[in-house]
Chains A and B, each alone.
Chain A
Amino acid sequence: MRMTDMQDDDLDRLLAAAARTAQTPSEALMERVLADAFALQPAAPELRPAVAAPRPGLLARLAAALGGGPALAGLGSAAVFGMALGYLSPTTLDYLTGTATDAAEFFPDADFLTTEG
Chain B
Amino acid sequence: MAFDAGGDASDEALMVLYANGDRHAALALARRVTPRVLAYAARLLSGDRAEAEDVAQETMLRLWKIAPGWRQGETKVTTWAYRVATNLCIDRQRARGRKRQLALDDAPEVADSGPGVEGRMQEAGRTAALEAALAELPDRQRQAVVLRHLEGMTNPEIAAIMEIGVEAVESLTARGKRALAAILSGRKEALGYEDDGHAG
Contact = CB atoms under 8 A, between A and B. Distances in A.
Contacts of B162: none
Interface stretch (A25-33, A62-70, A78-86, A98-106): A25-33
Contacts of B181: 3-4, 6-7, 11
Given A2-B188, A33-B34, A42-B20, A22 B42 contact: yes
Interface residues on B, range: 35 or more
Interface string B148-161: 01111000000000
Interface stretch (A12-20, A53-61, A89-97, A108-116): A12-20
In this complex, the interface size class of chain A, counting residues with CB under 8 Å from chain B, is 35 or more
Contact of A29 (B53, B126, B150): B53
A26 B52 CA distance: 12
Contact of B18 (A4, A9, A41): A41
A107 B114 CA distance: 133
Contacts of B53: 25-26, 29
Given A9-B198, A33-B57, A36-B60, A14 B184 contact: yes
Interface stretch (B25-33, B72-80, B93-101, B135-143): B25-33
A88 interface: no
Interface of A: 2-4, 6-7, 9-11, 13-19, 21-26, 29-30, 32-34, 36-38, 40-45
